[in-house]
Structure 1
Amino acid sequence: MLRSICAECLKLRHSRIGLVLIVLPIISLLIGCANFYLNQGVLHNGWYSLWTQVSLFYGEFFLPILIAICCAYVCRLEHQNRNWNMIMASPVPVASIFFAKMIVVSMLILIVQALFLCLYWFAGTLFSLPGSLPMETLSWTLRGWYASLSICAFQLYLSLWIRSFATPIGMSLCAVFIGLGLYVMKLGIFFPFSLLTIGMSALSQERLNGIQNILFWIMNMAYMIIFVMISIRRLKNKDVVSS
């Protein structure tokens, strides 16, 4: 497993994925900060008001797209020059191949979450918001990362079987709007992309009650297990297609 993870990390060396990981959170934060600045007359809750603005664009749109990009990127090399044939013929368990990609993507997203939190703190300091950084934001950031794992598993499943780099990303964008609709209909707890919105507290900062909190953790874990099992099973039983 460790060798597979190292191999995935080597693929990312000298790549431009790092630039994407930095630029997208910055863009989302700038949009949110601009919206906060223009609406300070009605936003009076300091750090929490700023969070609603920046996390709305980041957690609802930019983060799911970023996850899709990372998943498509870690599968991109395998889809070129018949590399899938060499990988599947190597003495490496199929599960190790998938979990190595999953772990690398999840670590990249964790780094992005930490970057976003730092940018949020920096923006709040520039706006001279009263008080210190709310500790709830750390909880929301970690909870958002946990919610992103089920999306990672789903996007890896798509990227493993769709050779096109853009198609899984486009499907992620469609899922974002579906998730937003389900969240508005109070059904967000049953859809991975809506769970990310709930985890980040992007649209509502109300505390989850006991049942909601348990469902949040269980549903994310369930989706993650389902897509991991489907992906590994298909890798074992279906022939991969390389260009």
Structure 2
Amino acid sequence: MRRSLSAEWLKLKNSKIILVIAILPILSLIIGSANFYMNQEVLEGGWHSLWSQVGLFYGEFFLPILIAICCAYICRLEHTNQNWNLVMSAPVSIGSVYVAKFVIVSMLILFAQLVFVGLYWIAGIILSLQGSLPIEIIAWTLRGWFASLSIIAFQLGLSLRFRSFATPIGISLCAVFFGLLMYVSHIGVLFPFSLLTIGLSVLSQDSLAGMQNILFWGMTSLFILLFSMLSIRQLKTKDIVSS
């Protein structure tokens, strides 16, 4: 596992992926903050209202796309020059290859979450919001990151399956809109992209109570395990090299 993780980190050395991870949260903050600023007479919730605006663009659109980009990028090298031959013949297990990619993308998204919260705090200061940063932001950020793990598992499966860099990203974009439909239909716990909306509390800042909380953590864990098992099985049974 350590060798697999080291190999994945080496791929990111001198890459531009960190720049992409920084740019997308910045864009979501700029758009959301501008929308908040122009509608302050309606959005009177201060920090919470700002979160609903910046989080709407970030959690609903930019973060899922960012996850898709990271997953496609982390699999890009293997899909070129038949490098899957080298991966499959390396003295590491197939499970280690998948888990290493999953862990690296998870860490990249956690970094994006921290960048987003930092920018959110700066935006609140610039907009002269009253009071201090809400303590709930910590829970929403970590819960959103955990929900993103299910999307990472889903997108990694797609990126391992398709050699095209754009195809998994296009599927992610379609899933974003389907997830929003699932959320407004009150069955968001049944779809990973809707779970991200619930986890980040971008459309509703109400606390998850009782069964809602159990369903959120349970379904997210189930999706992570399900998609991970399917991806590992795909690596073991499908001839990806010659596809």
What is the CA-CA distance between 1:236 and the residue it aligns to? 1.0
Question: 1:229, 1:221 → 2: CA distance?
Answer: 12
How far apart, CA to CA, are the structure 1 residues paired with 2:174 and 2:153?
Answer: 17
Aligned partners of 1:50 and 1:21: how far apart in 2? 21
Alpha-carbon shift at residue 188 of structure 1 (Å)? 0.4
1:199-230 deviation digits (Å, cap 9, x = unpaired) = 00011111111100000000000000001111
Q: Percent identity?
A: 65
Identify the residue that residue 93 of structure 1 maps to in structure 2.
93
Shift of 1:242: 5.2
Deviations 1:8-39 (A, max 9, x none): 00001111111100000000100000000000
**Are the counterparts in 2 of residues 195 and 220 from structure 1 also a CA contact under 8 Å?**
yes
Give the distance between the partners of 1:156 and 1:109, measured in 2 at CA.
Answer: 13
How far apart in 2 are the matches of 1:237 and 1:185?
A: 37
Task: Measure the CA separation in 1 of the matches of 2:241 and 2:185.
Answer: 39
8 Å contact kept, 1:147–1:220:
yes
- Aligned partner of 1:76 in structure 2 is 76
> 1-side partners of 2:16 and 2:111: how far apart?
16
**Rounded Cα–Cα distance in structure 2 between residues aligned with 1:242 and 1:23:** 35
Structure 2 Cα separation of the partners of residues 3 and 131 of structure 1:
47
The letter of the residue matching 2:150 is: S
Count of residue correspondences: 243
User: AA paired with 1:138?
Assistant: I
Residues in 1 aligned to 2:53 and 2:237: alpha-carbon distance in whole angstroms: 45
For the residue of structure 2 that corresponds to 1:102, the secondary structure is helix
Q: Name the counterpart of 1:5.
A: 5
Counterpart-to-counterpart distance in 1, 2:189 and 2:94: 31
Shift of 1:195: 0.1
Runs of 4+ in 1 over 6 A off after TM superposition: none
Task: Output the CA distance in 2 between the equivalents of 1:20 and 1:90.
Answer: 30
CA RMSD of aligned residues (A): 0.8
Aligned to 2:231: 231
Report the Cα offset of residue 241 of structure 1. 2.9
Q: Amino acid of the residue matched to residue 195 of structure 2? A: L
Q: 1:46 maps to what in 2?
A: 46
8 Å Cα contact 1:179/1:194 also seen in 2: yes
Partner of 1:165: 165
Alignment of 1:15-30 (within 5 A): 15-30=15-30
Q: CA offset at residue 54 of structure 1?
A: 0.3
The one-letter code of the counterpart of 1:141 is T
Aligned to 1:192: 192
Partners of 1:25 and 1:62 within 8 A in 2: yes
Aligned partner of 1:206 in structure 2 is 206
Q: 1 CA distance for matches of 2:156 and 2:190?
A: 20
How far, CA to CA, are the matches of 2:232 and 2:100 in structure 1? 12
State the TM-score, normalizing by the size of structure 2: 0.99
Query: Does residue 23 of structure 2 align to residue 35 of structure 1?
Result: no
> How far apart, in 1, do the equivalents of 2:59 and 2:194 lie?
10
Aligned to 2:14: 14
* Within-5 A mapping of 1:125-140: 125-140=125-140
Inter-partner Cα distance in structure 1 for 2:192 and 2:96: 24
2:174 partner letter: C
- 1:170-181 → structure 2 map (5 Å cutoff): 170-181=170-181
What letter is aligned with 1:129? L
CA contact (8 A) 1:83 1:242 kept: no
Residue ranges of structure 1 left out of the alignment (5+ in a row): none
Give unmatched runs, 5+ long, in structure 2. none
